[in-house]
Amino acid sequence: MLPMVSFQDVSLSYHSLGGETRAVSHLSFTVAEGEFVSIVGPSGCGKSTILSMLAGLFPPSAGSVRVNGTIGYMLQKDHLLEWRTIRSNIFLGLEIQGKATKENKSFAEELLKKYGLWEFRDHFPAQLSGGMRQRAALIRTLVLSPDLLLLDEPFSALDYQTRLSVADEIGTIIRQEGKTAILVSHDISEAISLSDRVIVLSGRPARLKKIHTIELSVEERTPMKAREAPEFREYFNQIWKELDVHVA
């Protein structure tokens, strides 16, 4: 089977007045359909850049990036447009792609109902909690039925409590919808709890350091339950060491 995503020997450099910065160096990996893969690395190592290349915002300087399907992108903050209602916000992608048909709109409304935001459809984003807003942002992405979800630290703007439950919620939704997902995060536990595999990157320029296949002995693989698995701590310690975080 063809992988959903393949990175082959990808390098990327930024150009600025100050010179050339190498953000990604000779990176190769693949992601299979239905898989949830996390990318962790020290902050500023070029993780988000990888997603931007996947989304086609800019091409790699060398190597090849292949994506076999349509993409949905979730940004760090929800970026709901504050002048639109929740319903109108989740139609945004449909409007932009000229797909705002009756059918697609009612699918979007179904998702609102399914994920508990139907009562808030006519509310404005400012009237919703951080967790609800992030959920709305996910629905806005799911409305287009993307084959692949790119999650760029989508929980980092939330406080710790909310973050745990939103990660749980969103992880569950993504599994339920059977989507392939790539999560970029600097939070090791978040990455382990959500993923089938965790890709560890080095500091800038980002190189592949290690890929972990996460196998947890829990009955029900939800992000919350995953944290209780006996293997969880082991994975955590290993990745922690690989990240080589120096707290001076």
Partner 1 sequence: MWREIKQPAMSQAQARFLKELRLRRWAVRVTQWVFLVGFLLLWEMAANREWIDPFLCSQPTEIWRTAVEMAQNGMLWAHIGTTLWETAAGFLLGTVLGVMVAVLLWWNSFVSEVAEPYLVVLNAVPKTALAPIIIVWLGNNQTSVIAVALLTSVVVTIMTVLNGFLQTEEEKIKLIRVFGGTKWQIFQKVVFPANIPCMMNALKINVGLSFVGVIVGEFLVAQKGLGFLIIYGSQVFKLSWVLMSVVILSVLAAILYKAIACLEKFVLRKRQ
- Binding residues among 215-234 for partner 1 as defined by CB under 8 A: none
The helix/strand/coil state of 243 is helix
Cβ-based nearer residue to partner 1, 66 or 210: 66
**Residues paired with 11 in a beta bridge:** 62
Handedness of CA 142, 48, 3, 240 (dihedral sign): negative
100 CB burial (10 A radius; 0-12, 13-18, 19+): middle
Interacting span for partner 1 (CB under 8 A) from 6-14, 26-34, 101-109, 119-127 = 119-127
Q: What's the min distance (Å) between Cβ of 171 and partner 1?
A: 21
Interacting span for partner 1 (CB under 8 A) from 26-34, 122-130, 159-167, 182-190 = 122-130
Using CB under 8 A as the binding rule, whether residue 53 contacts partner 1 is answered as no
Using CB under 8 A as the binding rule, whether residue 144 contacts partner 1 is answered as yes
Cβ-based nearer residue to partner 1, 110 or 122: 122
> In what helix (H) or strand (E) does residue 165 lie, and over which residues does it extend?
helix 160-176
Using CB under 8 A as the binding rule, whether residue 97 contacts partner 1 is answered as yes
Smallest CA-to-CA distance from 183 within 55, 5, 38 is with 38
Interacting span for partner 1 (CB under 8 A) from 8-16, 94-102, 170-178, 217-225 = 94-102
- Binding residues among 63-92 for partner 1 as defined by CB under 8 A: 71, 73, 75-77, 79, 81-83, 92
85 CB burial (10 A radius; 0-12, 13-18, 19+): middle
**Torsion angle of the four alpha carbons 227, 232, 237, 239, in this order, in degrees rounded to the nearest 10:** -90
Amino acid at 17: L
Rule CB under 8 A: which residues touch partner 1?
Answer: 55, 57, 71, 73, 75-77, 79, 81-83, 92-93, 95-97, 124, 126-127, 144
